[in-house]
Amino acid sequence: MKAISVFSDFCGGNIELIDASRADGIRLNIRRDSHADYFQWFYFGVCAEAGAKLGFSLENAGQSSYPDAWAGYNVLASYDRQQWFRLPSQYADGALSWQHQSEQAEVYYAYFAPYDQARQQQLLNTIAAEPRCNQIKQMHSPAGHSVELFRFSNGQAAEGKRKLWLIARQHPGESMAEWFMEGLLEALFKMPDDTGLIAGADIYFVVNMNPDGSWAGNLRSNGAGTDLNRAWAEPSPETSPEVLGVRDAMDEIGVDLFLDIHGDEELPYVFTAGCEGNPGYSPRLKQLEQKFRRRYQEINPDFQSVYGYDQDAPGEANLAIACNQIGQRFDCLSFTIEMPFKDNANIPDEKEGWSPSRSMALGVSTLQLMEALLPELR
């Protein structure tokens, strides 16, 4: 029988091989982030024989950053890295395991459908070809990757024009965030100039805040080991230049709405975290938050507001988190949007679970939502 190989030497790859001497008992560990101790994201390829009955065990799953996330989680598999499908997976004794009779000699497994650098380059090409988009700033990550801030605008000044900001993938393992941005931008670029959204707002966006971690196959940190979503109170030119660059641009330009796109390992729902714990939280913002959530749910049934994080106590918000810092700094509506790694338990999809297409559709819905809320943002 041919030997089995396990490899992860590609963009976003993450795995450590313990033992592959038995096809039905391939033993693996998830690798830690390149410069920090987080781990949960994995993505690897296997070369075996077509039709082989493969069995996998991620033996350190129980020590990962979110060990409770493995219950109810099903791994993703793909033969071509385009179409991803779920395989029933078991979590027991601290290990995540699954079986797969692979139809092909080469097969890939991942924590969620990856969004790799090649796909990102295509998206950046699409952005570059959009006449209403301009790159207004470029940052360099600690590992030397480029982080680009764009403005989408019809170029027309208008009384009370809003400034909407969207950033994605501060946490590189949350690849659904970049699928969301792709869906949103594709729809935005099809919109004619006379739509309410484009006439009434300029949209500032970053499709990937953390290219270091995305390239390295990290879960949460960049090439300096920083969790960027804990760096917004005091961003540093050395360890969080991605955040510093965006926050400085916000200080120059202003912000009327901020959305920070993430994925959640544990909860099988789409939800938002808001600014209820900010010292500057007011009845105005509370009402706006409620409107945003109610309207979101009407526009896209994947959104819900029953399940989410515990609320922050008044005045107790962590201002190092982007959503809180920007909501406080600009007295504006500000949210973390969370999509599941697992599925939306209210509308389950057995084959794919939560997926790129649903992430993209949520992005499209978010455009509609922003348009509906424009008049009330200030």
CB distance 102 to 51 below 8 Å: yes
Instruction: Tell me which residue has tokens 């099903």.
Output: 74
CB distance 13 to 43 below 8 Å: yes
Of the candidates 182, 242, 265, 338, the residue annotated as catalytic is: 338
Among 338, 343, 352, 371, indicate the residue that binds ligand GEM (CB under 6 A). Answer: 338
Interacting positions 146-175 with ligand GEM (CB under 6 A): 171
Does 321 engage in binding with ligand GEM (CB under 6 A)?
A: yes
Among 128-136, 140-148, 258-266, 348-356, which window interacts with ligand GEM (CB under 6 A)?
258-266
Whole-angstrom distance, CA of residue 256 vs CA of residue 332: 5
* Alpha carbon of residue 36 to chain centroid: 19
The DSSP secondary structure of 154-197, one letter per residue, reads -S---TT-EEEEEEE-SSTT-THHHHHHHHHHHHHHHS-TTSHH
Token pair for 135: 């790159």
Whole-angstrom distance, CA of residue 68 vs CA of residue 61: 10
Does 64 engage in binding with ligand GEM (CB under 6 A)?
A: no
* Alpha carbon of residue 181 to chain centroid: 9
Token pair for 195: 């739509």
Does 264 engage in binding with ligand GEM (CB under 6 A)?
A: yes
Does 145 engage in binding with ligand GEM (CB under 6 A)?
A: no
Does 307 engage in binding with ligand GEM (CB under 6 A)?
A: no
Which does residue 307 bind out of ligand GEM, Zn ion, none, counting CB within 5 to 8 angstroms by kind? none
Which does residue 273 bind out of ligand GEM, Zn ion, none, counting CB within 5 to 8 angstroms by kind? ligand GEM
Among 262, 293, 329, 342, indicate the residue that binds Zn ion (CB under 5 A). Answer: 262
Annotated catalytic, 298? no
Which does residue 336 bind out of ligand GEM, Zn ion, none, counting CB within 5 to 8 angstroms by kind? ligand GEM
Identity of residue 149: L
Among 34, 64, 336, 365, indicate the residue that binds ligand GEM (CB under 6 A). Answer: 336
Instruction: Tell me which residue has tokens 């992005």.
Output: 363
Which does residue 312 bind out of Zn ion, ligand GEM, none, counting CB within 5 to 8 angstroms by kind? ligand GEM
CB distance 173 to 351 below 8 Å: no
Beta strands 26-29; 53-58: pairing state: parallel
Among 259, 273, 285, 288, indicate the residue that binds ligand GEM (CB under 6 A). Answer: 273
Among 262, 329, 342, 358, indicate the residue that binds ligand GEM (CB under 6 A). Answer: 262
CB distance 202 to 164 below 8 Å: yes
In the complex, minimum distance from the CB of residue 34 to ligand GEM, in angstroms, rounded to a whole number: 18
Task: Kindly state the number of chain residues that form the binding site for ligand GEM, as judged by CB under 6 A.
Answer: 12
Triad 364, 367, 372: Cα angle to 5°: 135
In the complex, minimum distance from the CB of residue 262 to ligand GEM, in angstroms, rounded to a whole number: 3
Report the interface residues with ligand GEM, using CB under 6 A: 171, 229, 262-264, 273, 309, 312, 321, 323, 336, 338
Q: What is the contact surface with Zn ion in residues (CB under 5 A)? A: 171, 174, 262
- The residues assigned a catalytic role are 338
